[in-house]
Amino acid sequence: MQVRIRTLVRGLWEDNPVFRLLIGLCPALAVTTAATYGMAMGLATSFVLICSSTIVSLLKNVIPRKVRIPSYIIIIATFVTIVDLVMDAFLPDLHSVLGLFIPLIVVNCLVLGRSEAFASKNTTMASIVDAIGMGIGFTWALTLLGAVREVFGMGTVFGLSVVWDGFVPWTIMSLPPGAFISLGVLVGLLNVIGRRLSERS
């Protein structure tokens, strides 16, 4: 049980995909103009991650080593297409905002990376727990980045106004340069916090 909890928590902070491992950065930068979009992207990726990790770990003894990468890619691409179609049908507005980056979940290094490095070597239960941890880690990272950009770029968080009257939005935060700079500053800040925490303990 303790091992499980450690697997789960690892993706949240220590091995956070975005802030620590620096993977899955394309969607992290592209769709985080608002907290809602970051969160939606995070959840969509988590769904694919959890489903494909489950299937990969179930099939780990069936798939020959030499063709494992193409097999994983087909499995992942299938779940991605399902997410794409279902979102288009039931959440069309969100789907058109996330656009190209939904099909591109296929090449998110996070998903293929967890299949290859974890799910193909561990039990199904452990793989699911790992995927959930990584998924939550990815989702909160994107939500935080989206929230930061939304506050400065539009003066809102999740669409609710949080700034004083007369606040002039920093348009640059909604544009591509704002994405890079916010992420750079966040990575730096989290490094400082991480260091303080480890010094204290």
Partner 1 sequence: MEIALIFLSAVFVNNFVLVRFLGICPFMGVSRQIETSLGMGLATTFVMVVASTVSWLIQNFILAPYNLPYLQNVAFILVIASMVQLVEMFINKASPSLYKAMGIFLPLITTNCAILGMALLLVMRSYSFGHSIIFGLGAGVGFTLALVLLAGIREELEFADIPDALKGAGIAFIIAGLLSMAFGGFAGLV
Partner 2 sequence: MRESIRMVVVLAVIAMVSGAVLTQVYNYTYEIIQANLVRELEESVAEVLPNTVSMEILAGSAELLADNGPDDEDSILVLEGYDEDGSLLGFAYVTQSPGYGGPVKVLVGVSLEPYEILGVKVLDHAETPGLGTRIEEVSFREQFVGKTLDDPIELSNDIDSLTGATVSAAGVVNAVRDGLPRAIRTYEGRR
Element (H, E) at 66: none
Residue 197 touches partner 2, criterion: CB under 8 A:
no
Question: What part of residues 38-97 is at the interface with partner 1 (CB under 8 A)?
Answer: 69-70, 73-74, 77-78, 80-81, 84-85
The sign of the CA dihedral 154, 160, 162, 166 is: positive
Residues of this chain, 14-43, that bind partner 2 according to CB under 8 A = none
Buried b / exposed e over 41-70, threshold 16 CB at 10 Å, is bbbbbbbbbbbbbbbbbeebeebeeeebee
Q: Which of 14, 22, 96, 117 binds partner 2 (CB under 8 A)?
A: 96
Q: Which helix (H) or strand (E) holds 59?
A: none
Nearer to partner 2, 96 or 191 (CB): 96
Q: Does 89 bind partner 2 (CB under 8 A)?
A: yes
Does 8 interact with partner 1 (rule: CB under 8 A)?
Answer: no
The answer to whether the beta carbons of residues 145 and 52 sit under 8 Å apart is: no
CB of 93 or CB of 165, closer to partner 2: 93
Q: How big is the site for partner 2, counted in residues (CB under 8 A)?
A: 27
Interacting residues with partner 1 (CB under 8 A): 22-27, 29-30, 69-70, 73-74, 77-78, 80-81, 84-85, 100, 103-104, 106-109, 112, 172, 175-181, 183-185, 187-189, 191-192, 195
